[in-house]
Amino acid sequence: MSARVVLAVARRVLTQLRRDRRTVAMLLVLPCAIMTLLWWMFTGLPGRGFAALAPALLALIPFIVMFLVTSVTTLRERTSGTLERLLAMPMGKGDFLLGYALAFGVVATVQSALAVGVSTWFLDLDVNGPSWLLLVVAVLDALLGSALGLFVSAFARTEFQAVQFMPALVIPQILLCGLFVERDRLPRFLGVVSDCLPLSYAVDAMRSVSAQRHPDVLGDLALITAFAAAALVLGALTLRRRSA
Amino acid sequence: MTTGGFEVTGLTVVRGGTEVLRDLSCTVSAGEVTGLLGPSGCGKSTLMRAVVGVQQITRGSVRVLGEPAGSASLRHRIGYVTQTPSVYDDLTVVENLEFFASVLGVPRSRVGDCLTTVDLSSHRDAVVGRLSGGERSRVSLAVALLGEPELLVLDEPTVGLDPVLRQDLWGTFHALAAAGAAVLVSSHVMDEAMRCDRLLLMRDGRLIADDPPTALLARTGTADIESAFLALVREDR
């Protein structure tokens, strides 16, 4: 593992991203726009519609976006031959993965800071717990999305296929994460499935932070981190120096 | 046992149920430019991949610079250029080179030197995706030169290049070989063969000749490599 190589990878990924202005704009503006849309939908209605849904959405967006961005970028790296070239150089797989995680971690932090900022300052989202914890959950979520995206990119031959993995892996998690039916009121089997999915814990954590003054989210955060680490290890296994 | 160049013994590679390389043996030594020639699909790229250590091999052994191909210690010492340029299209020429230079841990000054070698100094700030095919493959070649490799493996590096530049690049390959490197260059264009010190002719995953070009012409009694190739194929049947 070499800090020089990790930083070089992270810088390179960010430079590539910077050159793609449209993607940067989408990454930063879209989450804020979606939060605003959600707020607007509930403006004339009684009850806590926005406040109830916003924390879950703040958990979902970075996860989905980073999943897509990573699966397409790493697939490109696999198909363009640059990954093979890098692995034939003195580069550890860990250097490659950490470099990507660092770059996307930076992007996710900026993205989530904007979305959380817009929601709390302009859209009057009440956060009882510390706002920075929302950010921590969001960034972990984004890293989880990145790790899963990296893993699935090994099973896609084209960018078209990579994008198809999004509904397959992400939509069931959205359905079962407690957004539509509270997790403890799901049919028993689905409840167990929900307990095995990482997004459930991300949504739980976001909700605790917004609802409680002193939220205890360490368990949730540890689980999300464990899922992300497991996906990264699986992703590392798919980076082969030798191929058929 | 030589320590420069590489040695392939009884190499067989099976891919998708077909034998791409069949019991192939050859030696490439340091200080020479070796041409790997044959029609497209004959297994040149697979042989090169096996030497670089990115190809899963079925049988046989490949030893590179005195070590088994693919050893971690070889990663500093080999430069490899794939047929399609393996560089980042959305970075500029100089950003690409600087990135690979930091991965290799070589000084930044190498970036300028390698750009001069491939005659791209005037395009250093151009985004690679906007360059022509020939320019892109030169960026890829420049990356392979960064680490001053002891073995340079080049898969069709001169396709689509301007004849003047092509001549210059062959000059570069010979200069690198004269400095002690082993250089393996593949091509499906037979007219490049005369520029090599030695030729490996391949067909259907096997080696049909391993000679200096002039010796090959003399042995087959032909005037050019294309005819020599045909004569060898007839003989082979």
Its sign, for the CA torsion A47, A50, A53, A56, is negative
| Per-residue three-class SS string for A103-154 | HHHHHHHHHHHHHHHHHHHHCCCCCCCCHHHHHHHHHHHHHHHHHHHHHHHH
Looking at chain A, the number of H-run helices and the number of E-run strands are 10, 0
> How far is residue A38's CA from residue A56's CA, in Å, rounded to a whole number?
12
CB contact under 8 A, B102 and A4: yes
Position A8: which residue type? A
> Does any CB of chain A come closer than 8 Å to the CB of residue B91?
yes
CB contact under 8 A, B55 and A243: yes
Q: What percent of chain B has pLDDT above 70? A: 98
Q: Which chain A residues are Cβ-neighbours of B127 within 8 angstroms?
A: 19
Tell me how many residue pairs between chain A and chain B have CB atoms under 8 A apart. Answer: 76
Mean pLDDT for all residues in chain A: 89
pLDDT at A47 over 80: no
> Does any CB of chain A come closer than 8 Å to the CB of residue B105?
yes
Q: Which chain B residues are Cβ-neighbours of A15 within 8 angstroms?
A: 91, 95
pLDDT at A194 over 90: yes
pLDDT (tens digit, 9 = 90+) per residue, B11-41? 999 988 899 999 999 999 999 999 999 888 8
Nearest to A90 among B54, B76, B95 (CB): B76
> How far is residue B152's CA from residue A88's CA, in Å, rounded to a whole number?
13
Nearest to B55 among A11, A87, A242 (CB): A242
pLDDT (tens digit, 9 = 90+) per residue, B206-227? 999 999 999 999 999 998 888 8
Report the range of poorest mean pLDDT among A109-123, A144-158, A180-194, B98-112.
A144-158
Of chain A, the end-to-end C-alpha distance in Å amounts to 26
pLDDT at B86: 92
ipTM, interface predicted TM-score of the complex: 0.85
pLDDT (tens digit, 9 = 90+) per residue, A11-45? 999 999 999 889 899 899 999 999 999 999 988 88
Q: What distances in angstroms separate CA A104 from CA A97, A119, A161, B21, B88, one per listed residue?
A: 11, 22, 22, 42, 18
Average pLDDT rounded to a whole number, residues B77-89? 91
Three-state secondary-structure class, residue A210:
helix
Q: What percent of chain A has pLDDT above 70? A: 100
CB contact under 8 A, A241 and B87: no
Its sign, for the CA torsion B137, A23, A239, B16, is negative
CB contact under 8 A, B99 and A82: no
> Does any CB of chain A come closer than 8 Å to the CB of residue B103?
yes
Strands B33-37 and B198-203 turn out to be: parallel
Mean pLDDT for all residues in chain B: 90
Produce one character per residue of B181-215: b if its CB has 16 or more CB atoms within 10 Å, e if not: bbbbbbbeebebbebbbbbbbbbbbbbbbbbebee
CB contact under 8 A, B102 and A85: no
| Residue linked to tokens 């991300």 | A202
pLDDT (tens digit, 9 = 90+) per residue, A138-189? 889 888 998 888 888 878 888 888 888 888 888 999 999 988 888 889 999 9
Three-state secondary-structure class, residue A15:
helix
Closest CA to B182 of B25, B36, B72: B36
CB contact under 8 A, A80 and B90: no
pLDDT at A176: 93
Q: Which chain B residues are Cβ-neighbours of A19 within 8 angstroms?
A: 90-91, 127
- DSSP states of A195-208 as a string? HT-HHHHHHHHHHH
pLDDT at A210: 87
pLDDT at B1: 42
Q: Which chain A residues are Cβ-neighbours of B54 within 8 angstroms?
A: 84, 87-88, 241-243
